[in-house]
Amino acid sequence: MNASPPLDRIRAREARWCLRANRMCARNGVRHLFAIVSRLGDGVFWYLLMAALVAVDGADGLLASLHMAATGAIALAMYKALKRWTRRPRPYAADGRIRAWVAPLDEFSFPSGHTLHAVAFALVAVAHYPALAWLVLPFAAAVGASRVVLGLHYPSDVLAATGLGCALAGASLWLAPGVQLFA
């Protein structure tokens, strides 16, 4: 069965957004900035943050780090299952004009695992340490943007992952006694 014309128009518009964003990487500075953000979003930033929380705040930092790690493990299982189920090709694989400026970690596009993890980690971290919001929230947003700019994801992959990350963080915070987001 073919997609409906309105859905075709949405997909075409999204592909144009991807192409425009991807062309920004023709500038070395933009490409290097988003490549660094993407690489840090592979986990490096979050693992360093977890280690710093333990080093600076001892047992409370360990509790926050374990909460982040547990949420991350669920996010990993969630995004891998969704990718196997949806099997959406990445933008660079679907449109020869879009270039993958960094190597992808896996084959499929939907949802963005980097964004899912970044949003979930950021919200859990901020729930434990509100003073970190200035650092982790903009970083999570930059991770999401990097995935589109680098040609690895469509904007809808990032938006869906943002929603999933919010839901996952919210559920994990609901289950964690005494931790409240934006309390």
Q: Are 61 and 55 in contact (CB under 8 A)?
A: yes
How would residue 93 be classed by pLDDT, with cut points 50, 70 and 90? Answer: confident
The structural domains of the chain, with segments of one domain joined by +, span: 5-175
CA 29 and chain centroid, separation: 22
Confidence (pLDDT) at 39: 94
Confidence (pLDDT) at 94: 83
153-167 pLDDT, tens digit each: 999 999 999 999 999
Query: Residue holding tokens 């589109």?
Result: 148
Class of domain 5-175: mainly alpha
Confidence (pLDDT) at 14: 84
Q: Are 83 and 108 in contact (CB under 8 A)?
A: yes
Query: Residue holding tokens 């957004």?
Result: 17
Q: What is the mean pLDDT of the chain?
A: 90
